[in-house]
Amino acid sequence: MKKFIVAGVLAIGFFTASAQTKIGYINTDELIGVMPEAEKADAELKEYQASLAQQGQDMMKELNDKDSLFVRDSAKLSPSMKEIKKNELISLYQRVQNWNQQAQEMYQQEAQKKIAPLRTKAMEAIRAV
């Protein structure tokens, strides 16, 4: 009976000794956010987003200009030219409508390209620790 009690105490001591493993948690997004390279990537992404927005504004301005030109000159145009100009306006309007979605997808792809090396570096640092 004493052997079972001694064996039980030793087993409990063994399990509590192995339970002392230390585990840590880290938020990789926060780690990436404090990396110096993140500021540079963020600045580049903001610049890219601004250029995409500028392209969208230019397309919208072109649409507005062509629309006002069509409205102004529509009385002088023949029916076939009106149809051609109207189709051009519709096509341009559709391009403007699709631009927002395209710009968002392009931005997300660019963000992934910029963040992937940072995420890799962060994961390597975590593994090293």
Across 25-29, average pLDDT: 77
Would you place residue 6 in the very low, low, confident or very high pLDDT band (cuts 50, 70, 90)?
Answer: very low
Question: 129, 127, 106, 116: which is closest to 32 by C-alpha?
Answer: 116
Higher pLDDT, 129 or 49: 49
The Cα angle at residue 120 between residues 114 and 124, in degrees rounded to 5: 150
Is the Cβ–Cβ distance between 96 and 63 less than 8 Å?
Answer: yes
Is the Cβ–Cβ distance between 103 and 56 less than 8 Å?
Answer: yes
Give me the torsion for CA of 60, 65, 71, 73, rounded to 10°: -150
> Given this model, what pLDDT does residue 70 score?
86
Higher pLDDT, 53 or 25: 53
| pLDDT digit string, tens, across residues 72-81 | 888 888 888 8
Mean pLDDT of the chain: 82
